[in-house]
Amino acid sequence: MNPTLKLIKFIKPYWHYALIAPVLMLVEVAMDLMQPRMVAHIVDQGIARLDLTVVFHTGLLMFGFAMIGALGGMSNGIFAEMTVQGVGADLREALFRKVQTFSFGNLDEFETGQLITRLTNDVTQVQEALLLSLRVFVRAPLLLIGSLIMAVITSPQLAFLPLLLMPVELVAVIWIVKKATPLYVIVQSKLDALNQVMQENLAGVRVVKAFVRARHEETRFERANTQLTDRAIHAARVVAVMPAFMMLTMNCGIIGVLWFGGRNVVTGQMQLGQIIAFVNYLMITLFSLMMVSQITIQIARAEASAKRIQEVLASVPKVRNRPDALTNVVLQGRVSFENVTFSYNGKDDRDPVLKGINFSAEPGQTVALLGTTGAGKSSLVHLIPRFYDATSGRIIIDGHDVRDLDLTALRRQIGIALQETILFSGNIRDNIRYGRPDASDEEVMAAAQAAQAHDFISAMPAGYDTVLGQRGVNLSGGQKQRLAIARAILLKPVILILDDSTSAVDVETETKIQAALETIMHNRTNFVIAQRISTVLNADKIIVLDDGQIAATGTHRELLASSPIYREIYDSQLGGT
Q: What's the confidence (pLDDT) of residue 486?
A: 92
279 membership: H or E segment, kind and range? helix 272-314
Looking at residue 405, its pLDDT comes to 94
Q: Is residue 381 part of a domain?
A: no
How far apart are the two ends of the chain, measured CA to CA in Å?
69
CA–CA distance, 212 with 20 (Å, rounded to integer)? 59
Measured at the CA of 114, the angle between CA 108 and CA 115, to 5 degrees, comes to 80
Strand partners, 416: 497
Per-residue pLDDT, 449: 92
Q: How many domains does the chain have?
A: 1
Report whether 176 contacts 293 (CB < 8 A): yes
Q: Length of the chain, please?
A: 577
pLDDT for residue 211: 64
Beta strand 541-546 pairing with 549-554: antiparallel
Domain assignment present for residue 508? The answer is no
Q: Give the separation between CA 33 and CA 152, rounded to whole angstroms.
A: 13
In contact, 94 and 312? CB cutoff 8 Å:
no
Q: Is 527 helix (H, G, I), strand (E, B) or coil?
A: strand
Three-class secondary structure of residue 369 per DSSP:
strand
Distance CA 95, CA 511 (A): 44
pLDDT value of residue 248:
79
SS3 label, residue 545: strand
What is the full DSSP assignment across 163-221? HHHHHHHHHHHHHHHHHHHHHHHHHHHHHHHHHHHHHHHHHTHHHHHHTT-HHHHHHHH
- Residue 184 domain flag: yes
Residue 437 lies in a domain: no
In a domain, 525, yes or no: no
pTM, 2 dp: 0.72
In a domain, 172, yes or no: yes
Q: Angle, nearest 10°, between helix axes 121-134 and 136-154? A: 30
Q: Smallest Cα–Cα separation from 241: which of 140, 167, 172?
A: 172
Give SS3 for 28: helix
pLDDT of residue 255: 77
Q: Are 289 and 169 in contact (CB under 8 A)?
A: yes
pLDDT for res 424: 84
Backbone angles phi, psi at 340, to 5 degrees: -85, 130
Q: Is 295 part of any domain?
A: yes
C-alpha to C-alpha distances, 324 to 327, 393, 404, 412, nearest whole angstrom: 9, 20, 7, 19
What's the pLDDT score for residue 210? 65
Residue 359 lies in a domain: no
Angle, CA of 259, 265 and 271, to the nearest 5°: 120
Cα-only R_g, the chain: 35
* CATH number of the domain that residue 144 is part of: 1.20.1560.10
The alpha-helical segments, DSSP class H, found in 358-452 are 377-382, 407-411, 428-432, 441-450
Phi, psi of 247 (to 5 degrees): -65, -40
DSSP secondary structure letters along 249-267 = HHHHHHHHHHHHHHHHHHT
Q: What is the residue range of 280's domain? A: 3-192+234-314
Count helices and strands (H / E) in the chain: 20, 12
| CA neighbor of 284 nearest in space, from 541, 37, 100, 555 | 37
Q: Closest Cα to residue 503, out of 546, 548, 533?
A: 533
CA distances from 408 to 325, 329, 373, 397, 432 (A): 10, 11, 30, 15, 19
Q: How far, in Å, CA of 95 to CA of 118, rounded? A: 8
pLDDT for res 443:
92
543 φ, ψ (degrees, to nearest 5): -110, 120
pLDDT of residue 203: 67
Nearest to 262 by CA among 247, 276, 281, 283: 276
Residues linked to residue 287 through DSSP beta bridges, in sequence order:
none
Give me the DSSP letters along 105-151. HHHHHS-HHHHHHHHTHHHHHHHHHHHHHHTHHHHHHHHHHHHHHHH
CB 182 within 8 A of CB 188: no
Mapped onto helix, strand or coil, the DSSP state of residue 440 is coil
Which run of H or of E encompasses 339?
strand 335-342
pLDDT, block means (10 residues), the chain with 577 residues: 69 87 82 74 71 79 85 87 89 89 81 77 84 76 76 73 74 77 78 78 68 79 88 81 74 73 70 71 74 74 80 86 89 93 78 91 91 87 92 93 92 87 86 90 92 90 85 80 91 90 80 84 87 83 91 90 87 69
According to the model, what pLDDT value does residue 32 have?
Answer: 76
